[in-house]
Structure 1
């Protein structure tokens, strides 16, 4: 496309591309925007060095290769701030510039937003289901090594408390948390028989009594008894990773209390998702460790977002393919809310039109400037800002919008001409 556009001189035409999702994944009532900060940072360093040019040079003419050698995005980008909720057709990102410089960003933008928003959207559902209890991201072993830190960041954005991924701790400043694995118990059982005492003594000696001991390698009741014998009633926590978690949690809480370990926390892990977490709401769980279902979007590994050309030289353009149509023209959006803060509708309107008004509802415009003339704007929202925005967004949803059952999006999105 780039080579052809440079050849016919259409490459410099002024264009607007938008990112949106035509629909939410099945069963979802809302989505959470994530990846904005990563995208802005990625655009600022999106360059073609000699090794990249050597590859594209196998497919493209010298003129195009030379153009790529000097590539710098010089356009403007607006978008929903990270942590904002989105719904079908929400104009999540608007990219403006020449066709050539904007079209190159499609895969970069979609790979970041589709991945991070899928993880954040699943994580937000888990946060709601956990009802204030601690959630730890333990998913690094269940995803690509490059995707793992980004998954941790998206989960933290959505309200997870911490991560076991130390690269995410280093790169994004996320709190780090971890527990030991069955391998550590089995290491010591090779000489100690089917018993955890030696492993537990070693872990407590190294980490202190505030550590969390894994008690389900052999027999949970015996593991809990041994853990308290070794660490005393001030033990920080015990982790259960298998079995009927509801029954085992209640039994373990009763056993810990009977042993005087009333403050010892119970950590659950083992293929948890938002549905399993919700089913355990009445049980005495303190911490959930979530892995596979988190980093795979809990059944929706992509947000299904698309990057579409919507305007050329100020003229709206649109795709009319069956089930894959788009609405032409650059757009903005506002959200209407009751005086209580509950949102009721999202209105999408032409970018050059006046902001819709309402006598009945509070009107809030959604997109903010992200990039101007190729440079990130000053004082972009931080990861902590995004966490607060997600929490506020979940509180703003109508009560039915938080249901885990099938249903329509929590609020309608409508187009104003």
Structure 2
């Protein structure tokens, strides 16, 4: 078991009761295929972003029912002795394929395909959805923000606006989607993400005046530090900051007021004082729209908190986990048949799918092509999207985080230009079922 400890109880009660009933009916060991997908993108979004895969692989590896977990289930009478015996020996022994982390996705995209017995695969439903729905939502918001920033660095600083573990996951997802650094030290330790931070208003208020506060910070952190200049009077603070640090002052941070107006005023003042290389960092409840509005301002970096870690209005990616195929009997070699929901408003497309992306002659993505079965040729204008993540129960899909980060930058650049528009619209490419 890895450093996470067991993740087996990060699930819903009914996952275990389904296994109990399936064991009694004899259907628990039927070969089954589940897919993770979203029926639609969050309103106004043009694409989704896959994030959380690396965390999920660790969590699946740690999905074991140890003695303490089994004792809890027995005490609560969640399941009976036969199911407890099954769970005691549980580990996922099937296969998982998925879109690589950092990849973009669209309505219907099978971003994760889980194949195994019904019992072993259905138990992972809640864990898979809880990881992917959170991380994909944050990554999609982060991608829109880094796109709006047009090359200027974005800093993730939302730890105080979400659950302490969600903060670490959010920093990871944001980094995949192009954020340059995080304020969260645990994320830095766990994932190697660069960390940044200097001081808050409390540090200025602690001292008798701004001069003393700035002097103390410069003495401790050097002239290249970032000084927070909006505790009292911005113009006076900038003047004091440059007087103390000189033209080597690293940056000033603005955290309130009319950021567009202040950025122009501060830039002019810094240049007049000879600090023409001093950067301007802005914070204060930024989202992708605020970042875009500041694009014409002399801003060098953005710090983003609340709107990032809450998905900028869409805190879930609305992903679902649905059975799309199952064996016709209990024989492991029995053929698969398609199954699908017909519920009004919640239909699904049955059958195990091959996921492809088609491109035009200029290399711009044209469509998401989902084929049931292995029909149709795969030519140079098509790219296969599913990669192996788990084979025979063994994790094979781990990769360095920077690979996912580079992939997202590359894949986003392949989308039509309208993908970067912040105005409301439909998915930037259609999903075609063949």
Normalization by structure 1: what TM-score? 0.96
- Per the TM alignment, residue 355 of structure 1 is displaced from its structure 2 partner at its CA by 4.7
**3-state DSSP class of the match of 1:179?**
coil
1:33–1:85 Cα contact (<8 Å) kept = yes
Deviation at 1:356, TM superposition (A): 3.9
Q: Structure 2 regions of 5+ residues with no counterpart?
A: 1-17, 328-335
Alpha carbons 1:82, 1:381 under 8 Å: kept: no
Residue in 2 that maps onto 1:302: 316
Displacement of 1:65 in angstroms is 1.2
- Residue in 2 that maps onto 1:365: 384
Aligned-residue CA RMSD (Å)? 1.1
Match of 1:381 among 376, 382, 399: 399
Give 1:287's aligned residue. 301
Q: 1:340 Cα deviation (Å)?
A: 2.1
User: 2:375 is matched with which residue: 338, 345, 354?
Assistant: 354
Q: Which residue does the alignment assign to 1:244?
A: 258
Deviation at 1:415, TM superposition (A): 0.1
1:254-333 matched pairs, under 5 angstroms: 254-313=268-327, 314-333=336-355
Cα distance in 2 for partners of 1:203, 1:299 equals 36
Query: What whole-Å deviation, never above 9, does each CA across 1:186-216 have from its counterpart, x for those lacking one?
Result: 111xxx2xx3111101100100001100000
Q: What is the DSSP-based 3-state SS (H/G/I as helix, E as strand, rest coil) of the residue aligned with 2:429?
A: coil
**What is the distance in 2 between the residues matched to 1:225 and 1:276?**
27
Is 1:150 matched with 2:169? yes
Q: Deviations over 1:31-82 (max 9, x none)?
A: 0000111111111111111222122222210111121111110000000000
1:55 aligns with 2:72: yes
Instruction: Give runs of aligned pairs for residues 8-407 of structure 1, distance below 5 A.
Output: 8-57=25-74, 58=76, 59-188=78-207, 192=208, 195-313=209-327, 314-350=336-372, 352-357=373-378, 362-377=381-396, 380-407=398-425
Greater than 6 Å deviation, 4+ residue runs: none
Residues in 2 aligned to 1:270 and 1:51: alpha-carbon distance in whole angstroms: 45
Task: Using the TM superposition, name which of 51-60 and 401-410 deviates more.
Answer: 51-60
In 2, Cα distance between equivalents of 1:51 and 1:146:
23
When normalised by structure 2's length, the TM-score is: 0.92
**Residues of 2 paired with 1:339 and 1:45: CA distance?**
45
Aligned with 1:233: secondary structure?
helix
* CA deviations over 1:140-192 (Å, ceiling 9, x no partner): 0001001111100000000000000000000000011113100100111xxx2
State how far apart, in whole Å, the 2-side matches of 1:54 and 1:293 are.
41
